[in-house]
Structure 1
Amino acid sequence: MISLNLSASLNPGLTRIRQNPTRFSALHAAAAADKPFSCQYPLSLPQIPNLQIREKPFLSITKRSRSVPAAANPDGGESESEEAAKKEKKAKNLQLGIVFGLWYFQNIVFNIFNKKALNVFPYPWLLASFQLFAGSVWMLVLWSFKLYPCPKISKPFIVALLGPALFHTVGHISACVSFSKVAVSFTHVIKSAEPVFSVIFSSFLGDTYPLAVWLSILPIVMGCSLAAVTEVSFNLGGLSGAMISNVGFVLRNIYSKRSLQSFKEIDGLNLYGCISILSLVYLFPVAVFVEGSQWVQGYHKAIASVGKPWTFYFWVLLSGVFYHLYNQSSYQALDEISPLTFSVGNTMKRVVVIVSTVLVFRNPVRPLNALGSAIAIFGTFLYSQATAKKKKIEAGDDKKN
């Protein structure tokens, strides 16, 4: 109990309380009940310097506030937050479906008109250069009109980009050479063997793979071999071009991971735009040296075979525009989904392209050739599953460490 040793001369209010204990008890009871108390005569305090009086009473009892949980929906339905989350998920799935649809459609259009242009103008070096030129102009327009944020270009970034851009150039021109010599479907079957080169080159650089990954590349090799042996339009130049394209794109991916790790602020679309511009610088001078002397004569032959110049221009323009657009859509899809889903989508895209080009160009397909193509593509699907499990295991190990 706390006692106040104040004299009556200094605290007349306290003296009055002592003289009338009944009123003091009433005051205490009123304060405990958290009710206002009216006194017939005020309790006065003397004027003491530097004494601050609180607005709240000296003696008070506070009630604890209890938090009441949100009431459930009386109708038994979903809450507003759950409905909003479902709507957002549906919108995201719809957007992703549109991106996938555009990716497939643009790839089909590119392959069809690229092959049409190469059939009448068999000079893949110039056509590949124009496709990179179209992509470069597209990105420059987006950056100039601020339709897409321009990346911050620095000297270290350009140096780090030299290797990936070089291998991208090798992969792109080799694929175009293959398209000019064999059927589009055959080139895509051989290009489905890209995981084989990825595992081999990555292993040489120190990466390790589980047995499931090594086993998954066996059907790819078997399927591609069967498809090559039974291909009606088989050409050694077309086969070697597709194989070199696989090597180029695999080395591009490997060097991109190793040299561009410190430039993660640059997104995939801007990265591909910079690679396209630098690849054009690499490719066009070599294209002039390799086949530049044949372009004028080949142009006149192409116009004569087509009949209308604008038809040929239209084919070339569409091949260039849609080459960049389908790559742009693939990067946008990769930003929204997991690498496994992207790999599966890429495998299915190859199937759609093969079937579409076979129907458009009416390429004869033997049963064994179709079987080999199916086995090779199924092997790429198994490879995607096996590598996804490997990445999950590595991610779990990183968290433990």
Structure 2
Amino acid sequence: MISLNLSPSLNPGLLHKTRTCQQPTRLSALLITNPKPFNHRHPLGLSPIPNLQIRDVSAKPLLSLTNPESSSGFSRKPRSIAAVGSSDSNPDEKSDLGEAEKKEKKAKTLQLGIVFGLWYFQNIVFNIFNKKALNVFPYPWLLASFQLFAGSIWMLVLWSFKLYPCPKISKPFIIALLGPALFHTIGHISACVSFSKVAVSFTHVIKSAEPVFSVIFSSLLGDSYPLAVWLSILPIVMGCSLAAVTEVSFNLGGLSGAMISNVGFVLRNIYSKRSLQSFKEIDGLNLYGCISILSLLYLFPVAIFVEGSHWVPGYHKAIASVGTPSTFYFWVLLSGVFYHLYNQSSYQALDEISPLTFSVGNTMKRVVVIISTVLVFRNPVRPLNALGSAIAICGTFLYSQATAKKKKIEVGGDKKN
């Protein structure tokens, strides 16, 4: 502590002279004893000196530096950047962070595995009970309408009870959604018509040709694809053709329905990308919920016109065929609930993984569904039919690989530009 004691006998002029002489000594002591890094507010590391005070010389020293840990801002320990960041270089803490990251990755992988498992399981359940209901009640327009209705009620319950955040619906969003919802309706009802006329496995083999329509329509709208993509669709066409020729349950209506379904879903995807780019704040689950509601409004009036007069006698035949009404209700209910759930799971999976991984997962899903339905319904499968199905599925896998490389090239080109 630096202090200056003044006697009361000194006159005021001498007191003033003493103050001015001692002030540089104080600053020199500060610079020597407590150096600090450069501060743009207080050059040379000096901060204001609030503790410089003049008091009664008979009581306490005139000039003093108070406790170094007080509000003056001075400290006995020099500040060090390394000291501040010393915790980051602690090997124990680094290992803890590494363990936490590993646990987080494991949890994410487990969660993604659960989503994929639910997606596959729900799709299998839908296809089985949808086909069971159509076998005794061959009116796909009503059944497809009920499936959209079940999904719409599901989403309204989630939004009403705040179990899931409700999207902000605006007039531009509804207008942008009209096209995708229309094509989704076409794709859904066409698939149901196909399911009602042919084996589920055959419908899924034909639906594996969806990439062919995607490449054709996207090319017509101005997109370009490398040679690898065009070559990948050749085995799809060959495999689907071989499977169709050798299919035991072949039906022209079933084949046409599956083909139209491919067209509908491809156009839905294309127009969704083009018209919904400015509504990225709406996640996949809410987007699908809104599409389901609009699709129901599209489909049900047409369903009444197409087959409404056959519903009542068809219902009585279905009950007589099954034996108990509750069994028929159970089949229809499961087909509706699991139709929405498997689509919901697919959107959740798409939010968590890359489009390539999703495409591969979707290809494998078709394989699982085909094998499951063949085992459940015991559909006869000829060797050439199985070979054609395998070639088509492999072609779909090659297409997903080729399109993934195309996207990587486009992203790399964008970064260079």
Q: Which residue of 1 aligns with 2:283?
A: 267
CA distance in 2, matches of 1:293, 1:9: 115
Q: Show CA shifts across 1:69-92 (max 9, x none).
A: 455547xx9711110111111111
Q: CA deviation at 1:64?
A: 5.8
CA distance in 2, matches of 1:234, 1:148: 43
1:29, 1:162 → 2: CA distance? 79
1:163 counterpart = 2:169: no
Which residue of structure 2 lines up, in the alignment, with residue 41 of structure 1?
none
Q: Distance in 2 between matches of 1:78 and 1:125?
A: 60
| Secondary structure, aligned partner of 1:219 | helix
- 1:132 maps to 2:132: no
Instruction: Give deviations 1:312-366, integer Å, cap 9, x for gaps.
Output: 0100000000000000000000001110000000000000000000000000111
Distance 2:253 2:264 in 1: 16
**1:360 paired to 2:415:** no
1:11 aligns with 2:11: no
Q: Partner residue of 1:39?
A: none
2:305 is the counterpart of 1:299: no
Q: Secondary structure at the match of 1:147?
A: coil
Whole-Å separation in 2 of the counterparts to 1:251 and 1:94 = 34
TM-superposed deviation, 1:10: 3.4
Residues 352-398 of structure 1, C-alpha deviations (whole Å, 9 max, x = no match): 00000000000011111111101101111111111111111111222
In structure 1, distance between residues paired with 2:153 and 2:21? 95
Is 1:106 paired with 2:122? yes
- Number of corresponding residues: 373
Cα distance change on mapping 1:357 and 1:32 into 2, 3 Å: same
How far the C-alpha of 1:65 sits from its partner, in A, is: 2.6
8 Å contact from structure 1 (residues 11, 46) kept in 2: no
CA displacement at 1:12 relative to structure 2: 3.0
Aligned equivalents of 2:415 and 2:167: distance in 1? Answer: 32
Q: What's the CA shift for 1:113?
A: 0.2
In 2, the alpha carbon distance for the partners of 1:79 and 1:357 equals 49
* Cα distance in 2, alignment partners of residues 264 and 376 from structure 1: 34
RMSD: 2.9
CA distance in 2, matches of 1:66, 1:142: 52
**Closer/same/farther in 2, CA of residues 93 and 13 from structure 1, 3 Å limit:** same
Residue 134 of structure 2 is matched in structure 1 by 118
- In structure 1, what is the equivalent of residue 50 of structure 2? none
Q: Structure 2 unaligned runs (5+)?
A: 1-12, 35-52, 57-62
Alignment counterpart, residue 244 of structure 2, candidates 194, 218, 228: 228
Q: Equivalents in 2 of 1:119, 1:259: separation in Å?
A: 38
Equivalent residue for 2:82, pick from 67, 70, 84: 67
C-alpha displacement of 1:28? 7.6
Aligned equivalents of 1:352, 1:122: Cα separation in 2:
25
Distance 1:281 1:245 in 2: 19
- Structure 2 match to 1:175: 191
Task: Determine the C-alpha separation between the residues in 2 that align with 1:81 and 1:367.
Answer: 55
- Indicate which of 312, 318, 335 corresponds to 2:351: 335
Kept in 2: contact 1:107–1:323 (CA 8 A): yes
- 2:327 is the counterpart of 1:311: yes
Q: Does 1:145 align with 2:151?
A: no
Q: Distance in 1 between matches of 2:273 and 2:282?
A: 13
Task: Provide structure 1 residue ranges, at least 5 long, that are not aligned to the other structure.
Answer: 1-6, 18-23, 35-43
Residue in 2 that maps onto 1:190: 206
CA offsets 1:136-189 (integer angstroms, 9 cap, x no match): 111111111111111111111111111111100000000000000000000000
Is the alpha carbon distance of 1:375 and 1:9 closer, same or farther for their aligned partners in structure 2, counting shifts above 3 Å? same
Amino acid in structure 2 at the alignment position of 1:224: C
Counterpart selection for 1:378 from 382, 386, 394:
394
Q: 1:314 to 1:73 in 2, by over 3 A?
A: same
Classify 1:16/1:187 alpha carbon distance in 2 versus 1 (closer, same or farther; 3 Å). closer
Residues 1:15 and 1:347: Cα distance change in structure 2 (over 3 Å): closer
Cα distance per residue 1:200-237 (max 9 Å; x no partner): 00000000111111111011001100100111101000
How many percent of aligned residue pairs carry the same amino acid?
A: 83
Q: Which has the higher contact order (CA 8 A, sep 6+)?
A: 1
- For residue 238 of structure 1, the aligned residue among 236, 242, 254 is 254
**Closer/same/farther in 2, CA of residues 14 and 259 from structure 1, 3 Å limit:** closer
Give, in whole Å, the separation in 1 of the partners of 2:363 and 2:121. 15
Tell me by how many angstroms 1:67 deviates. 1.1
- Tell me the distance in 2 between the aligned counterparts of 1:99 and 1:277: 24
User: Would you say the 8 A contact 1:192–1:220 is kept in 2?
Assistant: yes
Alpha-carbon shift at residue 15 of structure 1 (Å) = 7.1
Letter in 1 for 2:397: F
CA offsets per residue over residues 31-68 of structure 1, 9 Å max, x none?
Answer: 8466xxxxxxxxx9899xxxx998689xx998463615
Distance 2:229 2:192 in 1: 29
Counterpart of 1:282? 298
- In 2 relative to 1, CA 33–141 (structure 1 residues): closer, same or farther, beyond 3 Å? closer
In the TM superposition, residue 399 of structure 1 has moved relative to its aligned partner by: 1.9
Which amino acid counterpart does residue 117 of structure 2 have in structure 1? Answer: G
Q: Does the C-alpha gap of structure 1 residues 240 and 80 become closer, same or farther in structure 2, counting only changes over 3 Å?
A: same
- Listed as ranges, the matches of 1:84-95 within 5 Å are 84-95=100-111
State TM-score, norm by structure 2: 0.83
